Amino acid sequence: MTHGYTPIDKIQIYASLRATFRSGLTKPIAWRQHQLLQLALRSTPIWASRCMMHEVVMGEITPVFDRALTCVSKIEEWSKDKSITDQVQDWQKGWTSRIMRRAKGVVLIIACYPMILSLQPLYGALLSSSSPKSHHITLRSSLTICRSYPDKDAFRVALGGVPEITKMLELKWDHIFYTGNGRVARIVATAAAKHLTPFTLELGGKSPVIVDTTADIQLAAKRTLAGKTTNCDQICVTPDFFLVERLVASKFVEACGALNMPSYGAYERLKGLLDRTKGIEPTVIADVEPGDSLLEGEIYGPFLPIVTVENVDGAIDYINDHDHPLVLYFLLQTTLRRRKNTTNGNVCINDTFIQLSISEMPFCGVQYYSYENFVYGRALCEIPYEEEPFDMLRYPSYTAESVAFFSQVMKTPILKSTNPAEVEVKN
């Protein structure tokens, strides 16, 4: 076994999970509510053993506890069938038409981020196989949470790296949820395509911070550094690099340097064995040029690279010339119409990281609500025998009357429209 990984020959979970799902054990709402309550109850004592108690309570224990309980109270409402009888055409009113919410089935969740929030898909799926690679304190706690569920037939955990994940991906799942980087995401997508398995990719990415001349520089630096150092920067939505207008660049660097607080996360340095007496302080790196290695992959470290731009338009151009950000942060006091000209997961204005506290928003950048991601809408239509007299025109032999009936929709008037682009050009 490498690094405590699950031996490949011991990853024998698929058949039993499939049998559990087919048995109907997981279908009752009361069963799912019980699992969610266990997730809330079992998270607190496990995570209480970690250092930086303030960050753990604020960023990890509280969200899991609160969201698990929210799901308990909402799941019955979310699971209800939705009648669409009042939306159909008049001649279909006598039918029973509805959309039923049904679980997709056996789900594989691959979580590579070292936070308990990587377990968020559990709220929606309640079937998990987690395979993160490093950060053993966090991972052991996450594994303990998953393995503490009473219904062992419905929840299985495998810990591993590329070989173990590859083994899991050889199987035909009903849905795959992957949280991690783009390199592994391509492997996941390729494996899913082999079985035509639907999948969700919740990918990390560079999350830039734009600071302009209207920003409250002191407060911008304070909020930025707080987001940057939370959980020692081991968060997919952490502020990654900064695009600062030239007129305030030196002032912003100075403001960041003044925030030397001992409570900020200690970045531990790895040298063979973990030496907890040494660390790397949060470091501002000014005048970083485009093309620098700090601007390539996600940093996940205590470095705050600052790229100087002439104006916000220059910052927007830089962002659009690179991969889409997971989150785009604006530090400013004016409302920018130009932020509409970017493509990214989320936008947060005048703060960083704190947007994760809004439980009602979709999971990070992919715009998926957890529950909606793991169910599908099964359409049901029931036509009573009594409706037969109203459906006679569909049968041969076809007549002018039947053609006229089915052609009625084409008599709907089409409103005159104007191309807005052409109007703008003329003006």
pLDDT value for 265: 46
CA angle 386, 392, 396 (to 5 degrees): 145
- Tell me: do 144 and 254 sit in the same domain: no
pLDDT value for 32: 86
Helices (H), 278-413: 312-320, 370-373, 400-406
Whether pLDDT at 266 is above 50: no
Q: How many Cβ atoms are within 10 Å of 304's Cβ, its own excluded?
A: 26
- Tell me: do 45 and 186 sit in the same domain: yes
Q: How many Cβ atoms are within 10 Å of 161's Cβ, its own excluded?
A: 15
pLDDT value for 162: 75
Q: Which of 320, 341, 356 is the last residue of a domain?
A: 356
Q: What percent of the chain has pLDDT over 90?
A: 26
pLDDT value for 366: 41
- Tell me: do 194 and 246 sit in the same domain: no
- Tell me: do 36 and 12 sit in the same domain: yes
**Which of 173-177, 271-275, 354-358, 409-413 shows the lowest per-residue confidence on average (mean pLDDT)?**
271-275
Decide if 272 is inside a domain: yes
Q: Which residue range forms the structural domain that includes residue 223?
A: 208-356
Catalytic residue among 60, 202, 245, 298: 202
Q: Which of 356, 391, 413 is the last residue of a domain?
A: 356
- Tell me: do 305 and 194 sit in the same domain: no
The stretch 312-323 carries a mean pLDDT of: 90
Answer whether 168's CB lies under 8 Å from 11's CB. yes
Helices 136-147 and 29-47, packing angle to 10 deg:
150
Whether pLDDT at 144 is above 90: no
pLDDT value for 385: 94
pLDDT value for 15: 83
pLDDT digits (tens, 9 = 90+) for 21-76: 899 988 888 988 888 888 777 665 554 444 456 666 776 677 777 878 888 888 88
Q: Which residues contact 141 (CB under 8 A, 6 or more apart)?
A: 46, 47, 49, 50, 116
228/162: higher pLDDT: 228
Answer whether 116's CB lies under 8 Å from 141's CB. yes
- Tell me: do 25 and 105 sit in the same domain: yes
Question: At residue 142, what are phi and psi to the nearest 5 degrees?
Answer: -60, -45
5/15: higher pLDDT: 15
pLDDT digits (tens, 9 = 90+) for 373-425: 888 899 999 999 999 988 888 999 999 999 998 898 888 899 999 888 777 66
Decide if 290 is inside a domain: yes
- Tell me: do 164 and 230 sit in the same domain: no
**Which of 198-202, 229-233, 248-252, 257-261 shows the lowest per-residue confidence on average (mean pLDDT)?**
257-261
Average pLDDT, the chain: 78
CATH number of the domain that residue 163 is part of: 3.40.605.10
Domain count, the chain: 2
pLDDT digits (tens, 9 = 90+) for 333-376: 876 555 557 777 788 999 998 887 777 776 554 445 777 888 88
- Tell me: do 133 and 270 sit in the same domain: no
- DSSP annotation of 270: E
Decide if 2 is inside a domain: no
Nearest to 310 by CA among 209, 208, 213, 207: 213
Decide if 296 is inside a domain: yes
CATH number of the domain that residue 335 is part of: 3.40.309.10
pLDDT digits (tens, 9 = 90+) for 180-205: 777 888 889 999 999 999 998 877 67
**Which of 7-16, 108-117, 314-323 shows the lowest per-residue confidence on average (mean pLDDT)?**
108-117
Decide if 412 is inside a domain: no
pLDDT value for 148: 58
Decide if 21 is inside a domain: yes
- Tell me: do 22 and 145 sit in the same domain: yes
Decide if 282 is inside a domain: yes
- Tell me: do 156 and 135 sit in the same domain: yes
- Tell me: do 259 and 114 sit in the same domain: no
The stretch 9-29 carries a mean pLDDT of: 84
Answer whether 381's CB lies under 8 Å from 363's CB. no
- Tell me: do 110 and 143 sit in the same domain: yes
196: left (phi over 0), alpha (psi -120 to 50) or beta: left
Distance between first and last Cα of the chain: 70
Residue type, 35: Q
Catalytic residue list contains 202: yes
Q: Report the alpha-carbon distance of residue 170 to residue 168 in Å, rounded.
A: 5
Whether pLDDT at 110 is above 70: yes
Q: Which of 163, 183, 203 is the last residue of a domain?
A: 203
Decide if 366 is inside a domain: no
pLDDT value for 189: 93
Alpha-carbon torsion angle 45, 51, 57, 61, nearest 10: -50
Q: Which residues contact 54 (CB under 8 A, 6 or more apart)?
A: 263
